[in-house]
């Protein structure tokens, strides 16, 4: 962290008072470098990942420079999504909480125009919005930028990725010449560089060490798997990997809940994390992961932005990311605070080209992930079951239980082994898959040759190097065709959270 305190950076006392009440101790590196430059009135180009404290890096100095008594848009922030706009607006509200009659207005698509127009009429010093809707208001004349002092492009690369770059440029061209500008981005693709050159000439540049470096502490693995076998592969990974906390990335919000339900049914302490949850719910989910109340989170890229939970030992990319930056961000959720981490990527045959792309982006090779063989898995399950069973060997009720069963055995002419077996069947009937009665089926190995059939598993047996000849080929079309007992028994984690005791 920086050597100077917030007070020493020269912020307005009213802003400082707000910072003190939020409880920030020292400026983060990007704050320490950006605040003086913005206070001096310079344009600023900031390259830094999520979670580095960019909002305060621009909000605190810009708030320090405006005349808070003028109730007109003076600071305009462009954000890529409604969520981020709300988040930044909330942060601004906090940092401006000690000003009187001060208003921060979030403006985004998908919400009625009328409350936004009301808010604009009432007068707001800070507007935070998504490009499309801001442009609508500019065209309608409901938003006027005559008095604009500063413009911020937050997460510029994300806006580019979402196709907003033309809207952003249009808005930029409508802002006053002398308006101070700041652009923040995690990466600097050529189009963003061009925007910076055009609209932020002579900007002060601040770069915070890219997160791609932390990838070095993360062991990266790849597992080729047929799309319809991904869930089977995932449950086996979770069964054998000694994870503490894990985050599993999927592409859609819907998938987060679907997968969370499926893993929950298999006994994992899991929760979804997606943009449909409100801020408070998301914070609560993250808190539960931190405290160990949950071990697994199923997340989308956006919902997991900046997530910082040191106990995440594993990142599993259940769905491939949209681009290398997203991948780097995802795997950077592990290996926090100098620890090491493990990332496992599932790729389906049609996605295999991703492998090279990601290896190039991270500048490190991915090792093939070895799923345990059915025999190994079975051995492990038997061992776990045995441990679980033995944990009851000194149960205080044991004496009474033996007496009861002895009596039953004698009356029914059974020996104790038969009674034990019968009892075990009872356990299995009431809690299916608690007993490792049968070895799981081998997952079909993905052939290294590209296939023409892109979705279903291949028909020919040549693609199944491991399974018994012919057998898999016939079963191939059955989705999730785990052999009996293979559906991840509840709590099948090696950490000893064994089968639930019914």
Closest CA to 312 of 294, 328, 336, 330: 336
From edge to edge, which strands make up the β-sheet containing 245-249? Answer: 270-273, 296-299, 245-249, 312-317, 341-347, 218-224, 367-368
Q: With contacts defined by CB under 5 A, name the span among 53-61, 268-276, 389-397, 429-437 that binds Mg ion.
A: 53-61
Among 28, 34, 54, 349, binds Mg ion (CB under 5 A): 54
> CA-CA distance, 91 to 85, in Å (whole number)?
10
Which of Mg ion, ligand ADP, none binds 334 (CB below 5-8 Å, type-dependent)?
none
Q: Using CA atoms in the order 322, 360, 187, 1, what is the torsion angle rounded to 10 degrees? A: 110
**CB of 54 or CB of 489, closer to Mg ion:** 54
- Rounded least distance, CB 92 to Mg ion, Å: 12
29-52: burial string, b at 16+ Cβ within 10 Å, e else: bbbbbbbbbbbeebbbbbbbbbeb
**CB of 143 or CB of 152, closer to ligand ADP:** 152
Which of Mg ion, ligand ADP, none binds 31 (CB below 5-8 Å, type-dependent)?
ligand ADP
> CA-CA distance, 236 to 372, in Å (whole number)?
8
Q: How many other C-beta atoms are found inside a 10 Å radius of the C-beta of residue 204?
A: 17
Which of Mg ion, ligand ADP, none binds 51 (CB below 5-8 Å, type-dependent)?
ligand ADP
Contact between 248 and 297 under an 8 Å Cβ cutoff? The reply is yes
- Rounded least distance, CB 60 to ligand ADP, Å: 9
CA distances from 111 to 81, 82, 133 (A): 13, 10, 9
- Rounded least distance, CB 22 to ligand ADP, Å: 7
**CB of 84 or CB of 443, closer to ligand ADP:** 84
**CB of 156 or CB of 346, closer to Mg ion:** 156
> Within 303-342, which residues bind ligand ADP (CB under 6 A)?
306
- Rounded least distance, CB 225 to ligand ADP, Å: 33
385-399: burial string, b at 16+ Cβ within 10 Å, e else: beebeeeeeeeeeee
Phi, psi of 209 (to 5 degrees): -30, 125
Task: Give the bridge partners for 46, in sequence order.
Answer: 184, 206
- Position of tokens 């409350």? 115
**CB of 78 or CB of 238, closer to Mg ion:** 78
Q: Mask 444-463, x = binds Mg ion (CB under 5 A)? A: --------------------
> Within 6-65, which residues bind ligand ADP (CB under 6 A)?
24, 27-28, 31, 50-56
Radius of gyration of the chain (CA): 28
- Rounded least distance, CB 128 to ligand ADP, Å: 12
Which of ligand ADP, Mg ion, none binds 125 (CB below 5-8 Å, type-dependent)?
none
Closest CA to 56 of 83, 26, 101: 26
Q: Which two tokens stand for residue 56?
A: 């305060």
**CB of 1 or CB of 254, closer to ligand ADP:** 1
Q: With contacts defined by CB under 5 A, name the span among 47-55, 105-113, 242-250, 460-468 that binds Mg ion.
A: 47-55
- The footprint of Mg ion on this chain (CB under 5 A) covers a number of residues equal to 1
Closest CA to 443 of 417, 414, 464, 422: 464
- Rounded least distance, CB 56 to ligand ADP, Å: 5
> Within 166-185, which residues bind ligand ADP (CB under 6 A)?
none
**CB of 306 or CB of 460, closer to ligand ADP:** 306
> Within 64-123, which residues bind ligand ADP (CB under 6 A)?
none
Q: With contacts defined by CB under 5 A, name the span among 50-58, 123-131, 244-252, 452-460 that binds Mg ion.
A: 50-58
> Within 203-222, which residues bind ligand ADP (CB under 6 A)?
none
Which of Mg ion, ligand ADP, none binds 34 (CB below 5-8 Å, type-dependent)?
none
Contact between 314 and 344 under an 8 Å Cβ cutoff? The reply is yes
Q: Mask 375-404, x = binds ligand ADP (CB under 6 A)? A: ------------------------------
> CA-CA distance, 236 to 241, in Å (whole number)?
8
**CB of 60 or CB of 446, closer to ligand ADP:** 60
- Rounded least distance, CB 46 to ligand ADP, Å: 9
Determine what percent of the chain falls in helix, strand and coil, rounding each to the nearest 5: 45, 15, 45
Q: Angle, to 10 degrees, between the axis of helix 54-65 and the axis of helix 29-39?
A: 20
Residue nearest to Mg ion as judged by C-beta position: 54
Which of ligand ADP, Mg ion, none binds 28 (CB below 5-8 Å, type-dependent)?
ligand ADP
- Rounded least distance, CB 307 to ligand ADP, Å: 10
Applying CB under 5 A, which residues contact Mg ion? Answer: 54
Applying CB under 6 A, which residues contact ligand ADP? Answer: 24, 27-28, 31, 50-56, 306
């Amino acid at each position: 962290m920086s050597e100077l305190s917030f007070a020493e950076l020269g912020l307005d006392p009213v802003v400082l008072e707000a910072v003190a009440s939020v409880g920030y101790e020292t400026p983060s590196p990007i704050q320490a470098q950006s605040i003086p430059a913005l206070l001096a009135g310079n344009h600023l180009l900031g390259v830094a990942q999520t979670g580095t404290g960019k909002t305060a890096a621009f909000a605190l100095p810009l708030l320090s420079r405006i005349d808070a008594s003028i109730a007109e848009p003076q600071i305009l922030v462009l954000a890529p999504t409604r969520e981020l706009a709300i988040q930044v607006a909330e942060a601004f509200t906090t940092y401006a909480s000690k000003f009187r009659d001060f208003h921060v207005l979030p403006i985004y698509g998908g919400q009625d125009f009328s409350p936004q127009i009301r808010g604009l009429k009432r007068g707001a010093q800070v507007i935070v919005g998504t490009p499309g809707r801001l442009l609508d208001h500019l065209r309608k004349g409901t938003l006027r930028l005559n008095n604009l002092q500063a413009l911020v492009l937050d997460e510029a690369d994300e806006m580019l990725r979402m196709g907003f770059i033309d809207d952003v440029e249009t808005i930029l061209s409508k802002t006053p010449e002398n308006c101070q500008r700041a652009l923040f981005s995690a990466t600097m693709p050529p189009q963003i560089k061009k925007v910076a050159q055009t609209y932020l000439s002579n900007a002060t540049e601040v770069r915070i060490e890219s997160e791609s470096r932390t990838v070095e502490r993360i062991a990266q693995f790849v597992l080729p798997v047929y799309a319809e076998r991904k869930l089977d592969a995932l449950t086996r990974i979770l069964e054998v990997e000694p994870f503490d906390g894990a985050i599993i990335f999927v592409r859609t919000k819907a998938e987060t809940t679907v997968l969370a339900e499926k893993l929950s049914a298999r006994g994992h302490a899991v929760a979804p994390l997606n943009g449909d949850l409100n801020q408070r719910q998301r914070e609560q989910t993250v808190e539960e992961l931190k405290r160990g109340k949950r071990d697994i989170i199923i997340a989308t890229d956006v919902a997991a932005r900046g997530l910082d939970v040191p106990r995440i030992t594993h990142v599993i990319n259940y769905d491939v990311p949209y681009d290398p930056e997203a991948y780097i961000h995802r795997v950077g959720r592990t290996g926090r605070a100098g620890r090491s981490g493990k990332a496992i990527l599932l790729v389906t045959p049609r996605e295999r080209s991703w492998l090279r792309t990601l290896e190039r982006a991270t500048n490190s090779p991915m090792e093939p992930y070895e799923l345990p063989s059915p025999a190994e898995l079975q051995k492990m399950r038997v061992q776990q079951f045995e441990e679980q069973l033995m944990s009851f060997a000194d149960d205080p009720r044991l004496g009474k239980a033996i007496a009861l069963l002895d009596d039953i055995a004698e009356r029914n002419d059974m020996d104790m082994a038969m009674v034990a077996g019968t009892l075990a069947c009872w356990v299995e009937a009431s809690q299916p898959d608690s007993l490792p009665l049968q070895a799981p089926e081998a997952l079909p190995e993905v052939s290294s040759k590209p296939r023409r059939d892109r979705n279903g598993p291949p028909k020919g047996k040549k693609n199944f190097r491991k399974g018994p000849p012919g057998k898999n080929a016939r079963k191939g079309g059955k989705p999730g065709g785990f052999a009996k007992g293979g559906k991840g028994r509840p709590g099948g984690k090696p950490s000893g959270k064994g089968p639930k005791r019914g």
